[in-house]
Amino acid sequence: MHHSITGQYLARYRRTADGADTPRGLLPLTGAQRRFLLVRSLDPQGRPDVVPLFFAFPRGTVDLARLRAAAGYLAALHPALRARPEVVRGTPVQRLADADVPAVRVEAAPGENATDALRRALSGWRAEGSPLRLFLAHDADVPADTGAAHETGAPTEILAIALDHTACDGQSLSRVVEELTAAYAAALGLGDVPPAAADQEADAYREAVFLQLETESRAGAPAALGYWGERLRAVREAAPSPRSLPPGALPSGAAELRLTAGAAPLPFPGLLAACAAAAQALYGEGTHPLGYPWGGRPAAARPVLGCFLNTVVFPATAAAAGPDAHAAPATAWWDDLDRADTPFDEVVRAARAAGAPWSGRLDGLLTVEDAQRTPTLRLGGVAGREVYVDGRPVRAPFAVSVSQGREHSQSRELLVRMAWDRSVLDDNVAADAFGALTGALRAQILRPAPMA
């Protein structure tokens, strides 16, 4: 009889919850949450995966006390923002706790600017505590804003809205920004959440987590595992082992490029093909495991905040990166999507059972967002300008993010960003890989559309 990893985990969770003092306050972890907790446990510094958004405002815009109250309102309403992952008697779980969101002003040290200060604050993130945290910084040598319009070059402060990845996915990030804007405007705080609303959200979150685990358990059936075993049989991770960096060196490098494409977004298989081209440039020929997030809440679940994505594995080969990458590899990708709910840990086990000498480490990551759906954070009637803070640690040798947004009816802008772990990849080699990535994207943009 087949016993899926998810089924075994649920049995262990139920035994643990049955012996808990407050079983309703103890919830199981989704497959994605279990993966993030495992990655944290294997990290030498115990670092969690943190997802930050950065917004620049005119200096003096943000009322930090009001912002903390608004964030507390969100955490009191949404269980995912007050849940704490922990291990109880060998079983990873999430425990609902009181809402307590820190909002900290980070002072820049001599020689630092605001982005340096925020990098330092985020690097000191401890796994214990609230999964939602806010950090505000400004340049040490810039005087306070006197009310001038928000213009490029004007004195600014940068707000970081940061979440532990166990508490959020892309859908959740957008809602946090939207709801934080509304709660700040209405001056809401912890005490403004009606108990009935909090109970309703807690029930909805519990239901969504169990529905997700049911979906994952079904997706770990023998047929799906057989598919992934065959699909990933040839995978060989190729990234070199990390090396020490000089003291004070930034842990990651980054490059970005804006491209203008057609009116329609580039198909996802084309973006995977471009990442495959980067992997081939970095590691040479072979089958390299790339990961990308996919999925959402189960169809029957209510739209709760949380982490319901799965990391799907794509075997990047020279054929997948070639000029015909929109053909057979794209067909295989559609087949992958039929089994995209199979949890990552099940996929790794299936690949290893099929003979792949793969530890589960990914050689690269791809994330894609539609910029038209990205909400604007507004505080005090002022729209924040989203900015990037490079130089933060990345969880893979390289990670690509593609933002697709419409400029007008005839063209669409692509913002392509690549970050790389400088303890694994040399800057010059990574720059060449970025050239291969963007070259592959340009070729797709220029390729004539097939005749109907």
Q: Mean pLDDT over residues 1-14, rounded?
A: 83
pLDDT score at 322: 62
Angle between helices 344-353 and 5-18 (to 10 degrees): 130
pLDDT of residue 357: 94
Which carries the bigger pLDDT value, residue 329 or residue 106? Answer: 106
Compute the mean pLDDT over every residue in the chain, rounded to the nearest whole number: 89
pLDDT of 265: 76
Whole-angstrom distance, CA of residue 209 vs CA of residue 132: 19
The DSSP secondary structure of 128-145, one letter per residue, reads SS-SEEEEEEE-TTSPPP
Q: What is the pLDDT of residue 451?
A: 41
Residue 173 clears pLDDT 50, i.e. is over it = yes
Q: Which residue has the higher pLDDT, 101 or 170?
A: 101
Instruction: List, by residue range, all CATH 3.30.559.30 domains of the chain.
Output: 221-446
- DSSP reduced 3-state for 309: coil
pLDDT tens string 249-286: 999 999 999 998 776 778 899 999 999 999 999 999 99
Orientation of helix 328-337 relative to helix 222-231, angle to 10°: 150
Mean pLDDT of 28-43: 87
Q: How far is CA 394 from the centre of its chain?
A: 11
Task: Average the pLDDT over 119-140 and give the result.
Answer: 92
**Cβ distance 238 to 286 under 8 Å?**
yes
**What's the pLDDT score for residue 147?**
34
Q: Which residues are CB-neighbours of 253 under 8 A, at least 6 positions away? A: 390, 391, 419, 420, 422, 425, 427, 430
- Determine the Cα angle at 12 with ends 168 and 219, to 5°: 60
Task: Please report, rounded to a whole number, the percentage of residues in the chain having pLDDT higher than 90.
Answer: 71
Nearest-angstrom CA–CA distance, 209 and 406: 34
Using 50, 70 and 90 to split pLDDT, how confident is the model at 23?
low
Does domain 5-215 match CATH 3.30.559.10? Answer: yes
Q: What are phi and psi of 419, to 5 degrees?
A: -115, 150
Instruction: For the domain made up of 221-446, give the CATH fold.
Output: Chloramphenicol Acetyltransferase (3.30.559)
Q: How many CB atoms lie within 10 A of CB 452?
A: 3
194 three-state secondary structure = coil
Average pLDDT for 86-102: 91
Distance CA 352, CA 430 (A): 29
pLDDT band at 42 (very low <50, low <70, confident <90, very high): confident
Q: H/E element holding 50? A: strand 50-58
195-219 and 64-77 are packed helices; what angle lies between their axes, rounded to 10 degrees?
A: 60
Give pLDDT, residue 263. Answer: 66
| Sign of the torsion formed by the C-alpha atoms of 178, 180, 184 and 189 | positive
Q: Which of 52, 30, 342, 346 is nearest to 166 (CA)?
A: 30
3-state secondary structure of 368: strand
Q: Is 95 exposed, middle or buried (0-12, 13-18, 19+ CB in 10 A)?
A: middle
CATH 3.30.559.10 residue ranges of the chain are 5-215
Q: Which residues contact 329 (CB under 8 A, 6 or more apart)?
A: 269, 272, 273, 317, 319, 320
Report the predicted TM-score, pTM, of the whole model to 2 decimal places. Answer: 0.91
- Convert the pLDDT of each residue in 318-346 to its tens digit: 887 765 555 556 678 999 999 999 999 99
d(CA 182, CA 195): 19
Answer whether 74's CB lies under 8 Å from 103's CB. no
Cα-Cα-Cα-Cα torsion 38, 40, 41, 46, nearest 10 degrees, comes to 180
Q: Decide if 132 contacts 172 (C-beta within 8 A).
A: no
DSSP 105: E
Strand partners, 317: none
Cβ contact 444:274 at 8 Å: yes
Helix pair 170-185, 64-77: axis angle to 10 deg: 130
